[in-house]
């Protein structure tokens, strides 16, 4: 009985972690503003044209003076995860 419980727990935990991990970070945390049409912020495609690697994107995100970026600028891990999620290296 204990064995089954721990298997179920592990499954739930690993599911929770996959959804909180890399995959989907951009869609979850950035795409609400960074969407097709570039309003209010450049879409993923536009960002990918401008920034060629993770550190360029993170730097640009931190350098933005737009108040809408305030909430995310202090969270370097989040920015990095989002950049990786976008396909940058």
- Using CB under 6 A as the criterion, which residues of the chain lie in contact with ligand HEC when the complex forms? 29-30, 32-34, 40-42, 47, 50, 57, 60-61, 64, 66, 68-69, 72, 78-79, 82
Q: What is the rounded CA–CA span in Å between residue 5 and residue 11?
A: 10
| Shorter beta-carbon distance to ligand HEC: residue 8 or 49 | 49
Beta carbon of residue 22, minimum distance to ligand HEC (angstroms, whole number): 12
State in Å, rounded, how far the first CA of the chain is from the last one. 44
Beta carbon of residue 51, minimum distance to ligand HEC (angstroms, whole number): 6
| Shorter beta-carbon distance to ligand HEC: residue 10 or 64 | 64
| Placement of tokens 């940058």 in the chain | 88
Question: 78 and 86 in contact (C-beta within 8 Å)?
Answer: no
Residue 24, phi-psi category: left (phi > 0), alpha (psi -120 to 50), beta (remainder): left
| Shorter beta-carbon distance to ligand HEC: residue 8 or 71 | 71
């Amino acid at each position: 009985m204990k064995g089954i419980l721990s298997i179920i727990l592990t499954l739930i935990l690993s599911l929770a972690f996959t959804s909180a991990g890399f995959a989907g970070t951009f869609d979850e945390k950035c795409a609400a503003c960074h969407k097709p049409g570039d309003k209010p912020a450049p879409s993923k495609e536009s960002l990918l044209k401008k920034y060629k690697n993770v550190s360029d994107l993170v730097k640009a995100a931190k350098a933005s003076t737009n108040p809408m970026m305030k909430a995310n600028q202090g969270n370097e891990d989040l920015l990095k995860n989002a950049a990786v999620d976008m396909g940058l290296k």
